[in-house]
Amino acid sequence: MDMINVVINGKSYSVAAGSTVLEAAKAANIDIPTLCYLKDINEIGACRLCLVEVSEKRGSAMGPFRMVTACVYPCTDGMEIKTNTPKITASRRMNLELLLSNHDQKCLSCVRSTNCELQTLCREYGVDQSRFKGATHHYEIDDRTPIIRDNNKCILCRRCVATCAKVQAVGVIGANNRGFDTYIGSAFEQALSETSCINCGQCIVACPVGALYERDDTDAVFEALANPDKHVLICTAPSVRAQLGECFGYEPGTDVEGKMVAALKALGFDGVYDMNLTADLTIVEEATELIGRIQNNGVLPMITSCSPGWIKYCEHYFPEFVDNLSTCKSPQQMFGAVVKTYYAQKMGWNPADIVMVSAIPCTAKKFEVGRPDESAAGVPDVDFAITTREVGRMIQKAGINFRALDDEKFDDPFAIGSGAGAIFGATGGVMEAALRYAAEIILGKKLEKVDFTEVRGTEGIKTASYQLGDMTVNVAVASSTGMAKKLLNMVKNGELDVQFIEIMGCPGGCVNGGGQPIQPAKVRMSMDLRAVRAAVLYRDDADCDLRKSQDNLAVQTLYKEFFGEPNSHKAHEILHTSYIKRGL
């Protein structure tokens, strides 16, 4: 690697040629503030918070110092950089005041209060109000989808726009109008509900302020908990235990399963269950469906159906692949369906008196609960899907000291989950879990080696080929709908021949879902949150005595007492669903 020499705040450093000033400073452990910058996604120098002074060689002499934006300005050999002069501080302070001059400063009630990058910078630079007075804008809040947009708090950083277009390949939002009248919205001033938005929530994760957030269902859940006539149950997705601790000051990658269960019981839920159970149930149904398609010349490649953001993306943008989707409901919906059919009968409950809540890492799950063909008992399988962030807010609002809680265990009869179910939250996890089941069925013997490491990792697209007896199974994994687009085009063009595809709507899978705790851009740039969070799930899998979905005794009981066998008529009625070709 070619290196060049620069001087930052009077000290010499050697940095990689081609580095920006921001990258050089980061390598020197110097923090330059940013608002609009997201590495490899949004590098536009729009917010002007990263202004620095630089002097470059002009022949044999150094030129005068001038202001540049560190996030996009390239380093040159011999460059001198100043990052904290009074002039720089004054410029950054003025730019913060300009942002505040057209910003709704209702910070006390803002969902991002204390976790807002603008608020943090204003505190650091001593800015509490703007000296610039004049016209301001007022926008109606777009709250007709699970993703809520409040342009009164928008700072026009365009991080959401870049993420929607470049990462997710959706591109339903952008900058409308020009100059002072610029705002972020959809074409022709449409509401998000009128677009092909997939509700993935990656725009929320990218937003540095409170301009984007999920619909909050916590008041409705609290109301249900206070109703003595309702049986209020909750199940938690695998990745929630790997991220909830971040809401309470734990380092990313901390497993807080025991405290999470204790907190949910303290909130008053009548049952606190592990969604890993229906992750296992999904695997048995989905892998059985795959084997059936392979053996009976069904539609291939079969594509997983666990991610509702991906499902809606497929319906809008690749309707020709809708028939390739597994008909299995997601683990969230399967859990509600099992509770309101099998468990309701077992307990003698009216399904209408059950309030099923799911704790999930995903904003698209809020859309999924209202989809058609998701009501096995004649009522919605799941009543409320609340994000990891909402769970954290409920615990805080109830005054529960999360860090002081003793660990507790999930409730029976839905406490059993395998390691295969745990890794559902990481990209490649569904594929690996399915392979553990399918390989055993195809080979007709117990599988000793259960680790399919080729499909692990945070790469956007992964492929692998497995020889199972006389059968060769080619598989592919994609995470983010942007990578799904690339992968499906490869399949369409004949560049890739596979029988089974796993797609997760968010980069890295559920561990990086749109409903997970929001980390500031500088943390996301210095740490691969996808890998750190996924490691929790893989540790759970490795430490688990039960590593294959088919060995889950609770799943076996469900088939013995209720469903009969995988993919039975009854299983299809309750555990499977249908889709809409929206793009046609």
Q: Flag whether 580 is in a domain.
A: no
Give the CATH number of the domain where residue 149 resides: 3.30.70.20
208 and 227 housed in the same domain: no
Q: Domain range spanning residue 177?
A: 109-214
Give the CATH number of the domain where residue 31 resides: 3.10.20.740
Picking from 196, 214, 232, the residue at the C-terminal end of a domain is 214
Q: Flag whether 136 is in a domain.
A: yes
280 and 198 housed in the same domain: no
229 and 196 housed in the same domain: no
Separation between Cα atoms, residue 568 and residue 584, nearest integer Å: 31
Q: What is the pTM of this model?
A: 0.95
Number of domains in the chain: 3
Ordered per-residue pLDDT tens for the chain, 584 residues: 799 999 999 999 999 999 999 999 999 999 999 999 999 999 999 999 999 999 999 888 899 999 999 999 999 999 999 999 999 999 999 999 999 999 999 999 999 999 999 999 999 999 988 888 888 999 999 999 999 999 999 999 999 999 999 999 999 999 999 999 999 999 999 999 999 999 999 999 999 999 999 999 999 999 999 999 999 999 999 999 999 999 999 999 999 999 999 999 999 999 999 999 999 999 999 999 999 999 999 999 999 999 999 999 999 999 999 999 999 999 999 999 999 999 999 999 999 999 999 999 999 999 999 999 999 999 999 999 999 999 999 999 999 999 999 999 999 988 889 999 999 999 999 999 999 999 999 999 998 899 999 999 999 999 999 998 888 999 999 999 999 999 999 999 999 999 999 999 999 999 999 999 999 998 988 899 999 999 999 999 999 999 999 999 999 999 999 999 999 999 999 999 999 999 86
Question: Which of 81, 71, 80 minimizes the C-alpha distance to 50?
Answer: 71
Contact 203, 165 (CB under 8 A): no
66 and 145 housed in the same domain: no
505 and 567 housed in the same domain: yes
Picking from 214, 243, 273, the residue at the C-terminal end of a domain is 214
233 and 312 housed in the same domain: yes
Give the CATH number of the domain where residue 376 resides: 3.40.50.1780
How far does Cα 502 stand from its chain's mean position?
16
Q: Flag whether 98 is in a domain.
A: no
pLDDT of residue 584: 65
444's tokens: 């007709």
* DSSP-assigned letters across all residues of 55-95: E-EETTEE---EEEETTTPBP-TT-EEESS-HHHHHHHHHH
Which helix (H) or strand (E) segment is 384 a member of?
A: strand 384-387
498 and 533 housed in the same domain: yes
Q: What strands, in cross-sheet order, belong to the sheet with 461-468?
A: 302-303, 500-504, 471-479, 461-468
Picking from 157, 182, 214, the residue at the C-terminal end of a domain is 214
Residue that has been written with the tokens 């953001």 in this structure? 309
